[in-house]
A and B are shown apart, each in its own frame.
Chain A
Amino acid sequence: MALSDAELDRLFEASDAQAPLPSGDLMARILADAEAQASAPVAPMPASVVPAQSFLSRLRETLGGWGGVSGLAGVAAVGLIVGIFPPVALSDYAASVLGTDTSVTDYLPGLEAALGEVVIDG
């Protein structure tokens, strides 16, 4: 006849009470391991774990993915085209803002003369 739950529980209790205890030698070995690990220097990550990154992959990482890279490339292309073939409207707008005349303003009118005197004196 099978044991009842209560009888089985008494066997579990007996098994727990009779469980082998760790020896002093085992505890000493475990604590020696703990000490050795505590004083062990942190191992640097092996080179093989850190793959070398190409220029493109670093650029992609910096810009936050391929979306950023394509956006930057598009803007650069537009800038280049505008630089080489400026639209007429842009030239007219630049002229209206910046003007078409040029002039020179001397903010230190006596500087050249003073420098000339120093050279002569020296």
Chain B
Amino acid sequence: MALDAMSEVSDEALLVLYANGDAAAARSLSVRLVPRIMAHAYRMLGDRAEAEDVAQEALLRLWKIAPEWRQGEAKVTTWLYRVTANLCTDRLRKVRHSDFEDAPEVADGAPSADQLMLSKARAQALDDALAALPERQRQAVALRHIEGLANPDIAEVMDISVEAVESLTARGKRALADALGKRRAELGFYDG
């Protein structure tokens, strides 16, 4: 099946197509999912190379489980975020570090140089503040407010209740607001 014809096909159906030998389905799934889980892994680990390794390992596990995947039982994205989160947690337990010296590569776009610098500064400041949060709060906040997952999906990814997700995100957000409030001018917020 051609890649453009797959834009309407669900992740779950693509995975079944891949399991049935459709190589284009694997490409389509990768284009769709790898940027998301790579970004999440980067936010959790703060290291691009490690985030890439995690993304590759998570996808490898997805390819392996594909023949046994049953449609309707789980969402591929939720499953993949969960595997990614677990891989990140394993790495964080092994090596505790927060090296944010290397700025991430930026996506192509057409904003002005000033806008780009401000956007970069804001992203960097948020990454710094996120890195200072406890691991679970960081994960919940990133999944909710950056990746855009719904609370029930986050609960499934993190294996906790929806109430616990709400508590983690609320506390995490409050901590971020407090920490970043001290850098208000630097982040281009002058009104508050």
Contacts and interface: CB of A to CB of B under 8 A. Distances in A.
A15 B26 contact: no
A7 B125 CA distance: 13
Interface in A7-34: 7-12, 14-23, 26-27, 29-31, 33-34
Interface string A25-45: 011011101110110001000
Which has the most chain A C-beta neighbours within 10 Å: B52, B67, B130? B52
Contact of B192 (A1, A17, A37): A1
A31 B52 contact: no
A2 B56 CA distance: 38
Given A26-B55, A26-B56, A38-B26, A18 B34 contact: no
B39 A19 contact: yes
Interface residues of A, number: 32
A56 interface: no
Interface string A68-112: 000000000000000000000000000000000000000000000
B26 to A, nearest CB: 4
Interface string B158-192: 00000000000000011011101100100101001
A25 to B, nearest CB: 8
Contacts of B66: 37
B104 A19 contact: yes
B38 A20 contact: yes
B156 interface: no
Nearest to B39: A19
B4 to A, nearest CB: 18
A17 B146 contact: no
Contact of A3 (B18, B107, B120, B189): B189
SS class of chain A's interface: helix, strand, loop or mixed? Answer: helix
A16 B56 contact: no
Nearest to A36: B63
A12 B145 contact: yes
A4 interface: yes
B3 interface: no
Contacts of B38: 19-22, 26
B181 A11 contact: no
B152 interface: no
A113 to B, nearest CB: 72
20 contacts: A1-B184, A3-B189, A4-B192, A5-B173, A7-B192, A8-B176, A11-B123, A14-B119, A15-B126, A15-B127, A19-B39, A19-B107, A19-B123, A20-B38, A21-B105, A31-B30, A34-B18, A34-B59, A35-B26, A38-B23
Interface of A: 1-5, 7-12, 14-23, 26-27, 29-31, 33-35, 37-38, 42
